[in-house]
A and B are shown apart, each in its own frame.
Chain A
Amino acid sequence: METTSSEGQVAAPAAASPTLFLRNATGLVKGWSGFDAFVYSFMSVNLVTLGMYYSFTVFGWVQDGSPIAAILVTAVAMTFLAITYAGLVAVMPRAGGDYVWQSRILDGPPGAVAGAVTIGIGAGLVAGALGLAGVAQLAVGIVGAIAGAALGMWRGGIGFILAATGWWLILALWAPIYGAILNLQFVQPVAALLGITDLGPLAGQSGVFIVSLIVIALVTGLVALGMAGYARIQRASLGIGLLVLVVVFALMAISSQANFQAAFDREAQALWGVSNAYQTTIDVETTFYGAEFPALDPLGFGPGTWLLIPLMLFWLLYPNWGATLYGEVRGAGDFRKVLIGMLGGIWVATFLAIVFVLLSAKTFGWDFFQATNVNYLDPVYAVEGAPDPVIPIWSYPMMLGAFLIDNRIIQIIIVVLAGAWFLGWAGTLFLSSTRMIFAAAFDRILPEQAARVSDRGVPWVALLLIMIPSVILSYFYAFNSDFVALTLDATLVIAVTFFGSAFAATILPWWKKDVYQNSPMARMHIFGLPLVSIAGAITTIFLGWVLYMWIVDPNGLYLIGVGNPNSIIFLGILYGVAALIYVVARLYRRSQGVDLDAIHAEIPAD
C-alpha cells in the first residue's frame, strides 16, 4: 500500500474514492521498493555462488535425473515457500522472522507436536549414530519425543530451538562454506589465470582456513559498520554480476563445442601443463563411473529427477532470506509486493539456471560438464577410488566461459567481475545471526550482555558469539576432511527451521485466530481455505519429504544422513546445545523470579 505522510492526504489511488485518511505522524512512509525485496531474494538464491557449485556440480551423480525438470519442480515448491513467508510477514510484519513467528504460534499442543517430532526423531537418529539399535534406539527416541513435547509446551521453547539452530548456530558452519566458495570462485581461478602456481599459505587446507578468516572479518566488518552502505554494494554487485553473466552466456551461445574443447585444452596446457584435458576428463570419469554420461534431455523427467530435487534446494531454498521489516498502515498490497519480490528472485534465477544448463550442454558438452564437475567433487567428498582431478582447480563455469576468449587480461577481468556474485551475497551472513541473538537476549534466554552495543552501535558481543564458533568450525572444515562432508548440513538445519515456520503458518488461522483475522491475509482464500495455510501445508509436506530424503539418503547421495554418523552427531550437538541453552535459561530465570512463560502470555482485553 502506498501511503503518504502529508497531513490529511489520502492513501488510495488518485482516481478512486479514498479508503483511508492519514494524518501526519511518525513512521508513515511511502512504503518500500519491491525491487529491494527482489534484490535480496535473487542474491540469496545465488545462481553462481551456490547454484553452480553446490547444485549443478552433482548432475553427474544422478545420471538418470533430468536437471531442468528438477530445477523447475524445486522452483514450484519454493513458490509455496514464498507464499508462506509473504503471508507470515503480512500477518506479523515486525515479528523479526522465524524466531518470533514460531515463538508466538507454536505453543501448547502444536508446540508439543513440533517439539516431539523434531526432538524425538533427532534423538533416535543420534542414538543410531552412536551405535544403539532396536529397542534401545526406540527408547531414546521416545525419551526425546517426550522432552521435545515438554519443550514445545513451554511458550517459545521449540521456537527458540529451531530458530537458534537455523539462524545462529549453523551459520558458524556457513562461514567456512563461504570461504570455500570464495576460494573456488575467486582466489584459485584468479591466481591460476595470473600464472601463480604456488599460492603459498593460500594453497590447500591452510588456504581454505585463511580465506574463511578473511570472509569472517569481512562480514563482521559489514555488520559493525552498518548495512546501509552494503545495500549500495549489493545493488552494484547485482548489476555487475548480471552483466558478466550475460557476457559469459553470450560467449557460450556464439561458440561451438569444438571451439570450447580447443579453448579448454589450450588453457589447461598453458596454465597447468595438462594436455588433451577435455577428452581426458571425460575418459577418466567414464571409466570410473562405468558408463558414458548421458546427453541432456531438456524435456525429460527421468526417475532420478526426484533424487536431484533435494540437491537443488542447496541453492533455491533461500528466497525468503531478507526483507522482514515493513511499514505501518499496510494492506494486502504489501503481501503482494513481498511475494512478487521473492517470486522474482526464484523465477529469474530459475530462468537463468535453465539457460545456463542448456548453454553448458551446447557449448561445454553435457558429458564434459558432468565429468569435470565430478572429477573435482569426488575427491573433495572422499569418494573411494575416485580418479585424481585432471586440472587442479574446480572448472568454475565463469572461468570456462572466459576461456572462450583467448586473451588473459579479458579472462581475468571476467572472473574478477564475477566475484560480484559473492560480494553481493556474502555481506548479510552474520546480520541475521546478530538479530536472532538480540531477540533471544531480549526474551531473557541469553544474557543481556549478548545485546550489548558499543557507543557507536556495534553489537560486538553478538558478533563475538557468532565469530568465535565460525573460526572454530572454519578450522575443522579446513583441516578435517570428515568435516567437509558435513557441508550440506548447513542447508538441512535451515530447512528444519523453515519447516517449523511452514507448520506454524499452516495452523495460524485457527491457532492464533485474532492475529490472523486482524491481518490482510484473512480474506485470502483458495477453495474456502486460508491461502497461508494451503501454502504452509504444501511447504511443510515438501520440506518434510526433503528432510526424509536427506536423512534416510537411500542412494548415499547427500552424505549427511544416517550413512554419515558424524553428520547426525553434529546435528545432535547443534540441537542439543540449543535445547540446553533454553532449559538452563528457564531454570536460571526462574531462580531469579522471572517467568519466561509471561513473554507470550496474552493479556485479556475484556
Chain B
Amino acid sequence: MRIFFATDIHGSEVCWRKFLNAGKFHKADVLIMGGDMTGKAMVPIVQSNGGWEVTLQEQRHELHREDELVAMEKRIRDRGYYPIRLTRDELQAWSADKALVDARFKDEMLRSVEAWMALADERLGGTGIRCVVSPANDDMFEIDPIIDRAEHVQLGEANTIQLDGFTLVSTGWANPTPWNTFRELPEDELRTRIDGLVATVPDRQRAIFNFHAPPYASNLDAAPQLDADMKYVAGGQALVPVGSKAVRESILDYGPALSLHGHIHEGKGAVKLGRTLAVNPGSSYEDGVLQAAIVDLDAKKGEVKRYLLING
C-alpha cells in the first residue's frame, strides 16, 4: 500500500489540486491530508475608478479587465490567501470593524473547503484512490462536517480507518502554541485524547498515527525561536523544539508502524522513534510547492517498506 501524505497547505488552491492529482501521479492508494487546510490571510481587491487595485507581497497592481482580475484572484488563491472584492467604503468599514473581517474569514474558509471537497469528489470518483482529510489546529471546527459530507473523502479526526491491514487514527489537536488556535490541548489532555483513539486500534504495531503535532525534540519540531515580541531570535537561526511530549511518548509507548505529522513547516524530516518511522514533510504552500511524504507499507510484515519526502 502506498500512502501519499501532505499537510499544512493553508488554503493554497494549487497545492490542493496537486494533492488530488498525486494519487495518479505517484501511484498512491491513499491520500492523507494532515490538516491546516484553511488560509491565514485575505487580500482585498478594491474597486477604483472603473478598475481594481490590489497589493500583493507589497507590490501594487492595477487591474482593468475581468481576465486580469480573475488571473490575480487565482494567483492569490494559489498562495493560500483569499481574494476579496471590496468597494473602498467596504474596505474602510472592515478596517474599523473586526467583526466584519472575522465573519468574512469564516465565510471564505467554509466556502473554500466546500469547493475543495466538491473538487475531490469530482477528481477521485471512480479512481479507487482513498482520501482522508483531518483538520488541524488552525482549522475551525465548522469544516469537519463539510469534509464528512464529501462522498470520496473520509474525515480523519477521531475516526478509526482501516487501510489494507493497517489502522489509521488521526487528530489535529496540538499542544499549546503562542497563537492560541482552535484545537489546542495541554499535554496531559492531549495524551488522554490519543490514548482514547489508540484504544480502538486492534493491533497497535499496525497502527498509523496521523497526529498533527510532531513529537517533541525529534527534529521534526525544530522551529525558529521567537522572542517576547513574536520576532525571530537570531534571524531565525536559533531553532528550538516545539513539538508535543504527549505525541512523542505515545509513539514510544505504542510503537505504531508509521507516524505522520505536520504543524512545523520548517521541520521537514523523517526519523525513527523506537520502531516507528515518524515523518513531517514540511510545507512550502506559499510557493505553490506541495511538500509531501510517499510511504510504502508492507501489509504482510506490518511495517514501512520505503519512503520518500518530495517537493511536488
Which residues in B have their C-beta under 8 angstroms from that of A205? none
Q: Name the A residues within 8 Å of B54 (CB-CB).
A: 19
- Report the separation of the CA atoms of residues A444 and B18 in the bound assembly, to the nearest whole angstrom: 23
| Given A29-B230, A331-B58: A518 touches B306 (CB 8 Å cut-off) | no
Contact assessment for A94 and B288 in the assembled complex, using a CB-CB cutoff below 8 Å: no
Given known A8-B101, A231-B233, contact A605–B308 (CB-CB < 8 A): no
A94 touches B266 (CB 8 A): yes
Of the candidates B26, B95, B236, which one forms a contact with A32 in the assembled complex, judged by CB atoms under 8 Å apart? B236
Asked whether, in the complex, the Cβ of B311 is within 8 Å of the Cβ of A104, the reply is: yes
Question: Any chain A CB within 8 A of the CB of B149?
Answer: no
Residue in B closest to A324 when the chains form the complex, CB atoms:
B236
Contact, CB under 8 Å: A7 / B232:
no
**Partner pick for B179 among A9, A28, A457, CB 8 A cutoff:** A28
Q: Is the CB of A333 within 8 A of B238?
A: no
Known: A19-B55, A40-B235. A29 touches B226 (CB 8 A): yes
A450-B197 Cα distance, complex, nearest whole Å: 33
Give which listed residue, A25, A231, A602, contacts B238 with CB less than 8 A. A231
* A405-B75 Cα distance, complex, nearest whole Å: 65
Say which one of A293-301, A500-508, A591-599 lies at the interface with B: A591-599
Q: What are the residues of chain B within 8 A of A230 when measuring CB–CB? A: 234, 238
A19 touches B43 (CB 8 A): yes
- Contacting pair B308 A444 (CB below 8 A): yes
Q: In the complex, are the beta carbons of A323 and B288 less than 8 A apart?
A: no
Q: Which of B17, B44, B178, B240 contacts A605 (CB 8 A)?
A: B17
A604 touches B18 (CB 8 A): yes
Residues of A close to B177: CB separation below 8 A: 26
A515 contacts the other chain (CB 8 A) = yes
Find out whether the CB atom of A442 lies under 8 angstroms from the CB atom of B309. yes
How many residues of chain A have a CB within 8 Å of chain B? 91
Nearest Cβ on chain A to B241's Cβ, whole angstroms: 5
Interface residues on B, range: 35 or more
Judge whether A228 is part of the interface by a CB distance below 8 angstroms: yes
Tell me which of B58, B79, B236, B263 contacts A518 (CB under 8 A).
B79
Kindly provide the distance from the CB of A448 to the nearest chain B CB, expressed in whole angstroms: 6
Q: Residue-by-residue, is A512-525 near B (CB-CB < 8 Å gives 1, otherwise 0)? A: 00110111101100
Query: Is there contact, CB below 8 Å, between A456 and B217?
Result: yes
> Whose C-beta in chain A lies nearest to the C-beta of B102?
A8
B129 part of interface (Cβ distance < 8 Å): no
Alpha-carbon gap, A428 to B238, bound state (A):
11
Q: Which residues of B82-99 are within 8 A (CB) of A?
A: 84, 88, 91-92, 94-95, 98-99
Give Cα A333 to B59, complex, Å.
10
Q: Is the CB of A26 within 8 A of B138?
A: yes
Is the beta-carbon distance between A453 and B218 smaller than 8 angstroms? yes
Q: Are the CB atoms of A30 and B238 closer together than 8 Å?
A: no
B40 contacts which of A23, A36, A323, A325 (Cβ < 8 Å)?
Answer: A23
Q: Is A555 an interface position by the 8 A CB rule? A: no
- Asked, given contacts A36-B232, A104-B311, A598-B26, whether A27 binds B102 with beta carbons under 8 Å apart, the answer is no
Chain A stretch 225-254: residues in CB contact (< 8 A) with chain B: 226-228, 230-231, 234
Interface-centre pick from B43, B57, B241 (highest chain A CB count, 10 A): B57
Q: Per-residue 0/1 for B1-41: is the Cβ within 8 Å of any A Cβ (1 yes, 0 no)?
A: 00000000010001001100110011000000000100011
CB pair A325 B266 closer than 8 Å: yes
Distance A444 CA – B295 CA, assembled complex (angstroms): 13
Task: Determine how close the nearest CB of chain A comes to the CB of B27; give it in whole angstroms.
Answer: 10
Given contacts A19-B44, A29-B226, whether A593 and B75 have CB atoms under 8 Å apart is no
* B22 near A448: Cβ-Cβ < 8 Å: no
- B180 adjacent to A24 (CB under 8 Å): yes
Contact of B59 among A10, A21, A25, A520 (CB under 8 A): A520
Residue in B78, B234, B308, B311 whose Cβ sees the most chain A Cβ within 10 Å = B234
Asked whether, in the complex, the Cβ of B219 is within 8 Å of the Cβ of A438, the reply is yes
Contact of A328 among B178, B234, B286, B296 (CB under 8 A): B286
B154-162, B185-193, B201-209, B268-276: which one contacts chain A?
Answer: B268-276
- Least distance between B55 CB and chain A CB atoms (Å): 4
| B222 close to A (CB within 8 Å) | yes
- Which A residues from 412 to 465 make CB contacts under 8 A with B? 428, 431, 438, 442-444, 448, 451-453, 455-457, 459
Q: Are A94 and B282 in contact (CB under 8 A)?
A: yes
User: Are the C-beta atoms of B234 and A518 separated by less than 8 Å?
Assistant: no
A287 at interface by CB-CB < 8 Å: no
Q: A457 is contacted by which of B241, B272, B312 (Cβ under 8 Å)? A: B241
Q: How many A-B residue pairs have CB under 8 A?
A: 250
Q: Which residue of B lies closest to A517 (CB)?
A: B75
A210 to B266, CA, bound (A): 37
Chain B residues with CB below 8 A from A515, complex form: 287-289
B232 with A32: CB separation less than 8 A = yes
Q: How far is the CA of A431 from the CA of B224 in the complex (A)?
A: 14
> Which residues of B in the span 61-107 have a Cβ within 8 Å of any Cβ on A?
75, 78-79, 81, 84, 88, 91-92, 94-95, 98-99, 101-102, 105
Question: When A226-B240, A599-B309 are in contact, do A331 and B95 touch as well, CB less than 8 Å?
Answer: no
A428–B235 Cα distance when bound, in Å, is 13
The one of B40, B42, B308 in contact with A599, judged by C-beta atoms closer than 8 angstroms, is B308
- Chain A residues with Cβ below 8 Å from B224 are 325
For the complex, is A511 an interface residue (Cβ under 8 Å from B)? no
Verify A22–B41 contact, CB threshold 8 A.
yes
Residue of A nearest to B88 (CB): A17
With contacts A328-B286, A329-B40 known, is A32 near B137, CB below 8 A? no
- Is B111 interfacial (CB-CB < 8 Å)? no
Contacts of B239 in A (CB 8 A): 226-228
Q: Are B232 and A327 in contact (CB under 8 A)?
A: yes
Q: Is there contact, CB below 8 Å, between B57 and A36?
A: no
Min C-beta distance of B73 to chain A, whole Å: 14
Contact between chains at A323 and B236 (CB < 8 Å): yes
A100 closest partner in B (C-beta): B311
Known interface pairs A1-B58, A459-B219, A598-B308. Does A603 touch B236 (Cβ–Cβ under 8 Å)? no
| 1/0 contact string of B236-260 vs chain A (CB within 8 Å) | 1111110000000000000000000
Known contacts A27-B265, A325-B236, A594-B308; 16 additional CB pairs below 8 A are: A17-B88, A17-B92, A23-B105, A24-B179, A25-B40, A40-B237, A91-B287, A325-B224, A331-B57, A331-B58, A332-B57, A518-B79, A594-B306, A596-B308, A604-B21, A604-B25
What are some 12 contacts across the A-B interface (CB < 8 A)?
A18-B94, A39-B235, A40-B237, A228-B234, A325-B235, A331-B59, A428-B237, A442-B309, A518-B78, A518-B286, A592-B306, A593-B296
**Chain B interface (Cβ < 8 Å from any Cβ of A):** 10, 14, 17-18, 21-22, 25-26, 36, 40-44, 46, 54-59, 75, 78-79, 81, 84, 88, 91-92, 94-95, 98-99, 101-102, 105, 137-138, 177-181, 217-219, 222, 224-226, 229-241, 263, 265-266, 268-272, 282, 284, 286-290, 294, 296, 305-306, 308-312
